[in-house]
Amino acid sequence: MLTDKGGLLKEMLTPFRLGVGGPLAGGKMYFSWIHLEDEVGILLWALDSERVSGAVNATAPEPVTNKEFSKALGRAVKRPAIAPVPGFVLDFKFGSEFGHVLRGGQRVFPRRTQELGYGFTHPQLDEALADLV
């Protein structure tokens, strides 16, 4: 979930604002993201809609690679995004277990969420990041 109040985005903002941000561990892994407003919106919508039963994915409709995410974050803070972060730095900062999770990535789509009628407030990454930074 993207919010400037915590999580991975908050961790990434300082280096990116200083011009030393870049892709994590090669940047090839997929990064399924969602703006905080849409995360909350999907939860409220699912609770209020009689059509929704079972699981729905709370993720934006366009997953990106970490490299694409890094470039978008660089655009949002108007800084280059060219300083790659090696995998061992993730292990050092977050511990080997979570560092491994960050390098894994998943390409998740909200197909059922969209089929059941949820309308995203922030479906585009560039716009979502601009709203948060």
Average pLDDT over residues 18-22: 90
- Give the amino acid at 106: Q
- Asked if residue 102 has pLDDT above 80, the reply is no
Please name each of the domains of the chain with its CATH number: 7-128 (3.40.50.720)
Q: Which pLDDT belongs to residue 82?
A: 86
Q: From the centroid of its chain, how far is CA 107?
A: 11
Q: Which pLDDT belongs to residue 37?
A: 97
Average pLDDT over residues 61-88: 90
Three-state SS string across 60-127, please?
CCCCEEHHHHHHHHHHHHCCCCCCCECHHHHHHHHCHHHHHHHHHCCCCCCHHHHHCCCCCCCCCHHH
SS3 of residue 19 by DSSP: coil
Q: pTM value? A: 0.86
Count helices and strands in the chain by DSSP H and E runs: 7, 2
pLDDT digit string, tens, across residues 107-131? 899 999 999 999 999 999 999 999 9
Structure tokens at 119: 């309308």
Structure tokens at 9: 């985005």
Average pLDDT over residues 79-85: 86
